Each structure stands twice: as C-alpha cells, then as structure tokens.
Amino acid sequence: MKHFLILSCLLLAMAASGQSIQLPAIPDSLRTPESRAAFLVEHYWDLYPFGQSTKRAELAVEQSLVNYIDLFRLVPLENAQASLAATMRQASEEKRTLFLFYNLFEKYLYDLASPMRDERLFLPVLTAFLDSPILKEEDKVRPEYLLKIVRQNQVGSITSDFSITFRDGTQQNLLALPARPTLLYFYDPDCDDCRLLSAELERNADINRLIREDHLQIVAIYTGEDTDYWKETSAHIPSTWLYGYDDRFTILNDELYALPGFPTLYILDEDKRVVRKEASLEAVMQEIARLCVAKSE
C-alpha cells in the first residue's frame, strides 16, 4: 500500500509539473506498485529523442530527471544503477546531450547541497560517462577525479585507516579504536562552522548520554601541519571526545578522504564501516536518534 501511494503521488506530480517528455505506457499486466515502478525506471527515457535532441526537449529534462531519481526509492538499488548506466549510454549518442545529462546527475546525485545526493547512484553515471567513445581526454579530467573520490570509503566498506596522535601524546590507528559507532569529525580550529558544530554536538543530551554509556565515540581530527596551534586549541574540544591529528599527514598527502571543506563528517559503525559519507548534521542527528532507539530496546 505504501509503494502504491508513493507511485501514485509521483505520477500525479509528473503530470502536474507540466513536463513535456513523453513517458512510456505501463502495461496493464503489471499490477503491483513494485513491478510498475520497476518498469517505469527501466523504460523512463525510451521515448526521449536522444541523438536528435531539440531545445524544447532539453528544457523539459531537468524536472523529468528529478522525477526519475525520485522513483529510485521504489526499486532495488541495483535496478536504479542499471537504469542510470543505460541512460548515460543512450545520452552518449550526442556530446551535447551527454553533458546535459551528466551535469544534471552530478548536480542532484553528488552536490553536497542536494537532498537527493547518493554516491551509490552517481557511481554508474561516472563510469558510463567515462566509457563514452565520443569524449576527448580533456573532457574526462574532473569526472576521473570524482570517480576516485566516490570509490574511496564507499558506504558499507571499511573506512581508510591512518595513525592518530592524541592530546596526551599517545598514538593509535583509527581502525584500532574501540569497537563502537563513531562520528569521524574532520576539524579545523580556524573554522567558524566547526566551532558552531562542535557547540551543537557538545550540548546535545542524547550524544552525551551515548558517549557516557560507551555507545558512541566522537573522533575529531586536525589534518593540518601546525601541531603547536593544534595543541593550543585542543582545550576547546570537549574532554569526552577523542581529539588528535594525523601525525603522518597521510589524509591530505595520500588523499585518503574526500574533504570538500570543514567540517566534514563520516559516520562509522562498530566495525568502522562507513554508514554515511560526508554526512550533513541532519544525517548525523538521524543516526544518533536511531542509536538511541536501538540502545533503549
């Protein structure tokens, strides 16, 4: 019933949006919401004029593409990934169209400001784009760099390891820290947003309770090279957090993590597998709420 309502609402929204691309008719033989959504995801762009795109058709693409991405919540991840790869191959008939689709997918599936951001979906877009025979080498520079970033620390994988020097002088590798959910917080003392975030995390009662009960650890990491400054500012970090710096500077030198700016947050599970990558504060708080429910059961 839930999938039926979601699919019905999406189809109504598509009709109301005034999008002008023609959608394929869903066969009457497909009765379940799941099968109808799967068909629509697979055949969504069948009637779009790839290879002979017009300005009018292109103007309708962005809203249509947003609706297309919205359908992915109704199908298995592998179906969405296969559909994205096929869409990019179709778009590859014409360079202008290929870049139109690629740029929109990057905007909605990779940009940090997008509520639809999902690197698992952006990955097949990148790989299919780079496989296109119509591109020149200079067209691939940024996508190749993004592909490297997306493949690092993928959700579900063990996070990259590095050595940490803590404020008491002890050293330990990230993967050797106690087996508990971890908020990995890349921090810069000069960053105003970092100070605001730290204050918000520090005063959160649920976070403090989980830390006290050893159900959560916050590991704040300074990635710079001014260790004297790091020591001077360490007093501003709560004593209940683990605060250290990358003593070998491998995070930046070896590009172990994507750090688009500070603060950057990663959520790890007990086994140091990535749960959320470059997480927003909202995502952090959702995970904290989930932990609170799990520990109360």
Domain regions of the chain by residue span: 2-151, 163-296
Other beta carbons within 10 Å of 131: 12
* DSSP H helical ranges for 164-261: 192-202, 205-212, 227-233, 250-253
Which two tokens mark 278? 């470059």
Instruction: Give the pLDDT of residue 278.
Output: 87
User: What are the C-alpha distances in Å from 103 to residues 99, 108, 112, 139, 283?
Assistant: 6, 9, 14, 12, 25
pLDDT of 292 strictly over 50: yes
pLDDT of 60 strictly over 80: yes
**Which of 75, 65, 76, 54 minimizes the C-alpha distance to 103?**
65
Q: Give bridge partners of residue 221 from the DSSP assignment.
A: 186, 244
Separation of alpha carbons 223 and 254, rounded Å = 12
pLDDT level of residue 51 (50, 70, 90 thresholds)? confident
Which two tokens mark 40? 């629509």
Instruction: Give the pLDDT of residue 218.
Output: 97
Separation of alpha carbons 197 and 211, rounded Å = 17
pLDDT level of residue 279 (50, 70, 90 thresholds)? confident
pLDDT in tens, 190-236: 889 999 999 999 999 999 999 999 999 999 999 988 988 888 888 88
Cis peptide before 124 (omega within 30 of 0): no
At the second CATH level, the architecture of 163-296 is 3-Layer(aba) Sandwich (3.40)
Q: Is 173 left (phi over 0), alpha (psi -120 to 50) or beta?
A: beta
Mean pLDDT in residue range 19-26: 81
User: Are the beta carbons of 183 and 218 closer than 8 angstroms?
Assistant: yes
Instruction: Give the pLDDT of residue 9.
Output: 47
pLDDT level of residue 184 (50, 70, 90 thresholds)? very high
Mean pLDDT in residue range 81-90: 97
Instruction: Give the pLDDT of residue 12.
Output: 43
pLDDT in tens, 126-175: 999 999 999 999 999 999 999 999 999 999 999 999 999 998 899 999 99
pLDDT in tens, 94-116: 999 999 999 999 999 999 889 89
pLDDT of 20 strictly over 80: no
pTM score of the predicted model: 0.79
* Dihedral, CA of residue 268, residue 269, residue 273 and residue 276, to nearest 10: -50
